[in-house]
Structure 1
């Protein structure tokens, strides 16, 4: 069986509908735990050190719509290679995630990496123990230990260099292609690694010509999909990023999925889907949780008034306090309001201390069915660990259901209606 034939066995994207450039379909992939399907547009289950943030395996079961593909990061796992080699069963079984497919990225999208440490021979990752240099040989050795199902190809995503941006972007593409070729060669020599779906990284920073060169050259290699890398960086406006994404996806084959890291705000997700992106990470609900916030935007289709006594979800408008207008004196001066998006409410604010409504009306998550905003406010101000657990349950479930609504809207031909509703909350 050729490398290209093997790719189609390990990962297959079936597109059922295209609206503009937004793609509705299903990824079928075979991994260590058998065959799984993932609907697109969709997202992956984000983890830190292969554990869902704040959650145990049991509490994760309380969340509806958990994706069948889990996102782990090499930067948090590489330093534990010796332990995992001794264990011999892989990171999935070690961390209680043996019932999902595992996608491994090189870096954690939440944690920025210090620039200036990559070379033509190594890529540096940063874990709790400091910096670790990865050669293609070390990278492939880690894959043998981790036993993941999908993996981002080893790549040099650095493009910022004082006085030499264009040259550095060109170098990032050249190095990434060289790393990809070497890793594919090494993986082809080990039978167990031939079953891993390699996701080729598209590099080149903000230079369109380099992004297109990276896309065209990567598409010539036997990769299973594509990662549009580096778009989580703040070097360009979001509109400029969208233009780049649109140009890049136009160069990629239609039968392989496109993934992006670090773009998670609902309105921005919809913008990317319109430009041909299929998969996203779920770092956004984690970051919302870390701010002590709860996702508060609605996205489902309005329920049929003839079959429901009251609306399942409130009218989509900016969150208002339950007792009149917000009193600025009630705000905690330590809260960084600049980082809070219009899609969330900050439950550290004093105005929620006597608010006994659920986090979001109509939400069916465990937290909203059993607890109030006032209770979560109390947990946050008391620094109780339960606060993070409840917020993570709510935020994950809301985010996963958002993607269900996106797919439903694409099927029903109401994607633009959904986008207009979501954009009404945009800053």
Structure 2
């Protein structure tokens, strides 16, 4: 359920996104996402660096989960035994859960998409993910919102720093995504449409090949058993054995269990078109004709491309939103910095993710920026180019600053002055995980306060004025180069050396007690019978002690 109030003179929108409570005794009323707002970025289903109690302290109402972070090699087949949904599995029942294919925090370059599958980078390796796999996973996960199966060409650039995809590739992406969207909507409605005839034929051929491969493997294993004379069935021909379900040749084809219904899952459709205006218009217009619940504009690939300026990328968003209905939410990926978020809001964007505070935390930085002037004077630092938007806690200058990260901040790290800049500087340099817990808590809190101030300014009619003042105060965010701080490099080098020493020492201990490989002819040290369980030898009494 979505309600919006839009300013007639601009594309700025103010709304609320809510999900009705699902049927069931144990169902929980979801939080409401105020827009413009954010979904919390997650890795492996958890908000990075935050403990569950700290996650619940955040003001954000939703969590963004990537399938490629959670998929295992035995999925989706292994998900058929799930008797719960993904929100319960991740203990995120109170949040609106949005599920999509890929990691949204960074640009990823993968193999090209085909008519049958997309390529995902899971934590167990790269895998081909088909539309049918997608349906089975969504049926098991049952998130509140899912992004439709789509051909995102951002990851297929040959050289994302200089080259954008060609017109034919972009057109194929739009056509393929619309086709998959239609199939997704049909399946959600309870119909069939996962595969057309050509795809079904290709799937059957692959299934037959897989069965023949398994049969050959089984036959080879049986032959090896007979020749070696080992195994309980070594002397029994395969043809005289009792048929088992694992034998491909004797397995009877059973009707697959029907997947669970996911008719109550909202579907967001992705709008494509790369940098081509005509294709962005076509994609937006055709997608808007479908019965979808929201729209996604992923410009992360365009942002990474050095062929386009930031303003050109933002204009691509404007081209798409101009042709989308005004009563449905628009989620944007790839726009992260506060000044870019403000520009995207004027173009009709409603939702973003929290990749920006996550990146600040990874770099050891603490947010100082604000949208409206804070009530406490002197809470920020002024530089020659304006006010400082963040500080880097790796810098030595913070080693003796016993003050909060930001005066007046009510986050877990700053409230009550319990944690100081000097303390977090110390934690970083001793590689304590509490450092990133505190920084992430602070950066997430500041990002949420930023959006709260933006929403208030829209209601007050001062958004444009405050946006101009923000840009004057903080300027433009420097590009994130990926280089780490010199102090961080020293710490990581030290950790690497220590890990190598421990690894070598561990191998030596394992070999010494006879559990590891030893050189040929080298006797393995044996434990003396006189040693007790602690490894200390019992002392033999001396003759004079016995007298």
Deviations 1:107-149 (CA, angstroms, capped at 9, x unpaired): 1112432233311221111111112222221111000111201
* 1:170 lines up with 2:239 in the alignment: no
Instruction: Tell me which structure has the larger Cα radius of gyration.
Output: 2
Distance of 2:445 and 2:31 partners within structure 1:
20
Superposition deviation, residue 12 in structure 1: 2.5
Aligned to 2:63: 70
Distance of 1:164 and 1:212 partners within structure 2:
17
Superposition deviation, residue 100 in structure 1: 1.4
Distance of 1:54 and 1:81 partners within structure 2:
28
* 1:425 lines up with 2:497 in the alignment: no
Change (3 A) 1:367 1:315: closer
Superposition deviation, residue 164 in structure 1: 5.7
- TM, length-normalised to structure 2: 0.67
Aligned to 1:375: 423
Distance of 1:151 and 1:342 partners within structure 2:
38
Superposition deviation, residue 42 in structure 1: 0.6
Superposition deviation, residue 71 in structure 1: 0.9
* 1:56 lines up with 2:51 in the alignment: yes
Distance of 2:312 and 2:408 partners within structure 1:
37
Superposition deviation, residue 28 in structure 1: 2.7
* 1:399 lines up with 2:447 in the alignment: yes
Distance of 1:263 and 1:127 partners within structure 2:
24
Superposition deviation, residue 47 in structure 1: 1.1
* Structure 1 vs Structure 2 CA RMSD: 2.3
Aligned match of 2:275 in 186, 191, 206?
206
Distance of 1:49 and 1:250 partners within structure 2:
35
* 1:109 lines up with 2:99 in the alignment: no
* 1:289 lines up with 2:289 in the alignment: no
Superposition deviation, residue 410 in structure 1: 0.5
| Larger fraction in strand | 1
- TM, length-normalised to structure 1: 0.85
8 Å contact 1:12–1:256 — kept in the other structure?
yes
Change (3 A) 1:282 1:344: same
Q: 1:18-417 counterparts in 2 under 5 A? A: 20-30=10-20, 32=22, 33-34=28-29, 36-61=31-56, 63-65=57-59, 67-79=60-72, 81=76, 84-158=79-153, 160=157, 165-189=166-190, 192-233=261-302, 234-235=304-305, 236-303=308-375, 311=376, 314=379, 317-318=382-383, 343-369=389-415, 370-417=418-465
Aligned to 1:327: none
Distance of 1:109 and 1:163 partners within structure 2:
19
What SS class does the counterpart of residue 223 from structure 1 fall into? coil
Change (3 A) 1:421 1:82: farther
Superposition deviation, residue 360 in structure 1: 1.3
Show structure 1 runs of 5+ residues with no match. 1-10, 304-310, 321-340
What SS class does the counterpart of residue 123 from structure 1 fall into? strand
Change (3 A) 1:55 1:143: same
Distance of 2:152 and 2:109 partners within structure 1:
12
Distance of 2:405 and 2:103 partners within structure 1:
28
Superposition deviation, residue 19 in structure 1: 5.7
What SS class does the counterpart of residue 68 from structure 2 fall into? helix
